[in-house]
Amino acid sequence: MQIQSLYQEIILDHYRNPHHKGLREPFDAEVHHVNPTCGDEVTLRVTLKDADGDPVVADVSYDALGCSISQASASVMSDLVIGKPVGEAMRIAQEFLDLMQSKGEAAPDESTLEDAVAFAGVSKYPARIKCALLGWMAWKDATGRALDETTGHAS
Amino acid sequence: MTLDVGRVRKDFPILDRQMRGGKPLTYLDSANTSQKPRQVIDAISGFYERHNANIHRATHELGEEATAAYEGARIKVAGFVGARDESEIVFTKNVSEAINLVAYSMGNASAGAAAPARFRLGPGDEIVVTEMEHHSNLVPWQLLCQRTGATLRWFGVTPDGRLDLSQLDDLITERTKLVSLVHQSNVLGTVNPVRLIADRAHAVGALVLADAAQSVPHMPVDVQDLGADFVGFTGHKMCGPTGIGVLWGRRELLDEMPPFLGGGEMIETVWMDHSTFAAPPHKFEAGTMPIAEAAGLSAAVDYLSETGRAAIHEHEQSLLTDALTQLTELAGVRILGPTEAADRGTAISFEVDGVHPHDVSQVLDELGIAVRAGHHCAWPLHRALGVQASTRASFYLYNTHEEVTALAAGIRQAQQFFGVA
């Protein structure tokens, strides 16, 4: 079945046992994103810490209702960005976005995307790309707000 | 007259195509949009190949033919739904535009356009809808209430997916200016008692609009019997093309209502500082209309009439009963809305325990089965039922009992794939 290229075992594993799920305190910013076509939603919190003037993602916590692809993607995303400098995490997010827009043509780099390479097949299913991006977009939004927040406090 | 589904299927070229992996197409998404018979496709291409011109303003032979095709479609549609005459048929882009036409006309009346008081809204006035509306019969009224200061109220839905009519006399009062409700729910399949509600609304002097997008394609609908003052439906759900919808309105109301969109063809006279307007239906048809689409819609009306609407309805009821039985028997599957075929159309939305609707529909798609997943443009209804989203299968005249069985087998396969069965 071609559907296995969409639902890779890694995706189903993350779906059944999502990492970092649940909302945690403290946090610097919280966002709520929805997918208006299906009503799927995610509430996501980001905590940043300062490492010699360089912001680092200290924690990402989330609560989400949605399909296997959106749930698994939020789990993989939090694995990838937690502990990384914000700049590097943003580059990974961009790489994932590029992969989603590749229509199945890209050869994803496992050294940066790790488990997220399993989502390469999603890019062949236009209706599901939004599902895979829901958590990532929420994280980018929350991180942007957290940066504003911390910069605001500094000034 | 019994429907020969094998013969019907031969009229729909798309049913012959193969989907990914060489699977035959099982199209169970007709509540979203229906497929088109050869007769409709030919009518559209035939119009462009032989008769294309603009209507009403071209003084040449092609213009006469195009006008005859367009106005002929209006006569066809008028007969199809029992309008008093074709001047009660306004062509629109779709049902959303038909509903917005009434909403904006009332908004214009409220903002000072010359119109009788029944069309004017202000603080203290009320519009009544239901919790099972498609967004297209909810959002326009929210916007109208914002513009005029009127209040929006609504009928609730019972747990089994019927309108809660116990609220009838409390909801529809002398403050009510308009009641707008769906005839057949696009999610639950529920057929609502429009007449009963319209009688109450008329007793307090309110206008009534029925969204018949899901009923006109599937059963004989007579606008006089229905009892509403306005009825909206759309071509693409009844074997016709996209881009053309219909607003039926009582002529005396269309006469009194201010225009919606301004532009060419909707005028009587124009000066630099003001205009007077054409008589209905042209008053509501600004600019070049969907002419080839009207020719296609006309062919769709012929097709449904010749196939026999009673026969279509009977065939669909048989598929519906089969589908309700097969889905009810599946462990872990819960149907939203009535589980009996009485007063119910063929849209069946359901939840599968432990499998998200997107994932159900993805597995079905892999099998060549097209359904819809999500909230089906009825988010408040899903919220009222405590459901995040659902999967919807909907049947039409070209569907078969084998396809019902394929759906049930596909759902089982999705349950197995996600390890819940």
CA separation for the pair B83, B306 (Å, rounded): 19
CB B172 within 8 A of CB B197: yes
The answer to whether the Cβ–Cβ distance between B21 and A2 falls below 8 Å is yes
Dihedrals φ, ψ of A2, to 5°? -65, -20
Q: Which of residues 331-390 of B touch A (CB under 8 A)?
A: 356-359, 362-363, 366, 373-375, 379, 382, 388-389
What string of pLDDT tens digits covers the 421 residues of chain B?
789 999 999 999 999 999 998 999 999 999 999 999 999 999 999 999 999 999 987 789 999 999 999 999 999 999 999 999 999 999 999 999 999 999 999 999 999 988 999 999 999 999 999 999 999 999 999 999 999 999 999 999 999 999 999 999 999 999 999 999 999 999 999 999 999 999 999 999 999 999 999 999 999 999 999 999 999 999 999 999 999 999 999 999 999 999 999 999 999 999 999 999 999 999 999 999 999 999 999 999 999 999 999 999 999 999 999 999 999 999 999 999 999 999 999 999 999 999 999 999 999 999 999 999 999 999 999 999 999 999 999 999 999 999 999 999 999 999 999 988 8
**Per-residue pLDDT tens digits for A53-85:** 899 999 999 999 999 999 999 999 999 999 999
pLDDT of residue B140: 98
Strand pairing report for B207-211 and B333-336: unpaired
pLDDT exceeds 80 at position A153: no
pLDDT of residue A1: 57
pLDDT exceeds 80 at position A152: no
CA-based nearest residue to B216, from B206, B228, B201, B207 = B228
The answer to whether the Cβ–Cβ distance between A3 and B374 falls below 8 Å is no
Using pLDDT thresholds of 50, 70 and 90, give the confidence band for residue A107.
confident
Q: Which residues of B touch A134 (CB under 8 A)?
A: none
What one-letter code names the amino acid at A140? K
CA separation for the pair B312, B3 (Å, rounded): 6
pLDDT of residue A155: 39
CA separation for the pair B305, B322 (Å, rounded): 25
CA separation for the pair A116, A107 (Å, rounded): 12
Domain range summary for chain B, segments of one domain joined by +: 5-30+308-417, 43-305
Q: What is the DSSP letter of B25?
A: P
Q: What is the DSSP letter of B236?
A: G
Q: Which residues of A touch B388 (CB under 8 A)?
A: 39-40, 65-66
Assess whether B145 carries a catalytic annotation: no
CA separation for the pair B348, B351 (Å, rounded): 10
Q: Does B20 touch chain A (CB under 8 A)?
A: yes
Best residue in B352, B358, B392, B417 for a mutation probing chain A (most A CBs within 10 Å):
B358
Q: What is the DSSP letter of B192?
A: P
CB B168 within 8 A of CB B197: yes
Which chain B residue has its CA at the smallest distance from A128's CA? B358
What number of other Cβ atoms are within 10 A of residue B257's Cβ? 24
Looking at domain B5-30+308-417, does it have CATH number 3.90.1150.10? yes
**Nearest CA distance, B293 vs chain A (angstrom):** 28
Using pLDDT thresholds of 50, 70 and 90, give the confidence band for residue A154.
very low
What number of other Cβ atoms are within 10 A of residue A11's Cβ? 24
pLDDT exceeds 80 at position A104: yes
Of B20, B356, B389, the CB nearest to A2: B20
The answer to whether the Cβ–Cβ distance between B389 and A38 falls below 8 Å is yes
Residue B77: its H or E element: helix B61-81
Q: Does A26 touch chain B (CB under 8 A)?
A: no
CA separation for the pair B78, B71 (Å, rounded): 11
CA separation for the pair B139, A152 (Å, rounded): 38
Strand pairing report for B23-24 and B26-27: unpaired
Which chain A residue has its CA at the smallest distance from B382's CA? A39
Dihedrals φ, ψ of B80, to 5°? -60, -35
CA separation for the pair B284, B254 (Å, rounded): 9
CB B199 within 8 A of CB B230: no
CA-based nearest residue to B81, from B214, B212, B170 = B212
pLDDT exceeds 90 at position A36: no
Centroid of chain to Cα B269: 34
Looking at domain B43-305, does it have CATH number 3.40.50.1970? no
B5-30+308-417 and B43-305: identical CATH topology: no
User: Per CATH, which fold does A3-154 belong to?
Assistant: Sufe protein. Chain: A (3.90.1010)
pLDDT of residue B266: 94
CA-based nearest residue to B95, from B12, B33, B177 = B33
Point out the catalytic residue in the list B194, B219, B377, B414.
B377
What DSSP string runs through B328-358? HHSTTEEEES-SSSTTB-SEEEEEETTB-HH
In the numeric block, which tokens belong to residue B404? 């019902």
Whether the model clears a pTM of 0.90, i.e. scores above it, the answer is: yes
Residues constituting chain B: 421
What one-letter code names the amino acid at B31? A
Q: Which residues contact A155 (CB under 8 A, 6 or more apart)?
A: none
Q: How many CA atoms lie within 13 A of B273 on its CB side?
A: 0
ipTM metric: 0.88
Centroid of chain to Cα B120: 26
**Nearest CA distance, A18 vs chain B (angstrom):** 15
The answer to whether the Cβ–Cβ distance between A3 and B389 falls below 8 Å is no
Q: What is the mean pLDDT of residues A100-114?
A: 91
CA separation for the pair B367, B213 (Å, rounded): 29
**Per-residue pLDDT tens digits for A113-141:** 999 999 999 999 998 999 999 999 999 99
